[in-house]
């Protein structure tokens, strides 16, 4: 799950990303961090 629509809109197809997810109980996985390889300004 990506809670912020603006983050979803910044994700591009055919790109490689580093992503961190979390899981609580039976809830869907949630995205906590995402960045392009070598990007110093991670999206949070």
Give the model confidence (pLDDT) of 2-37 as tens digits.
777 887 888 888 888 888 999 999 999 988 888 877
Sequence-distant contacts of 28-31: CB under 8 A, at least 24 apart: 28/1, 29/1, 30/1, 30/2, 30/3, 31/1, 31/2, 31/3, 31/7
* CA 3 to mean position of chain CA atoms: 10
Q: What is the pLDDT of residue 38?
A: 64
Q: How confident is the model at residue 40 (pLDDT cuts 50, 70, 90)?
A: low
Q: What is the pLDDT of residue 39?
A: 64
How far is the C-alpha of 25 from the C-alpha of 41, rounded, in Å? 30
């Amino acid at each position: 799950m990506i809670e912020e629509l603006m983050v979803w809109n910044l994700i591009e197809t055919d790109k490689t990303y580093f992503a961190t997810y979390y899981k609580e109980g039976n809830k869907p996985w949630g995205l906590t961090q995402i960045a392009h390889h070598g990007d110093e300004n991670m999206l949070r």
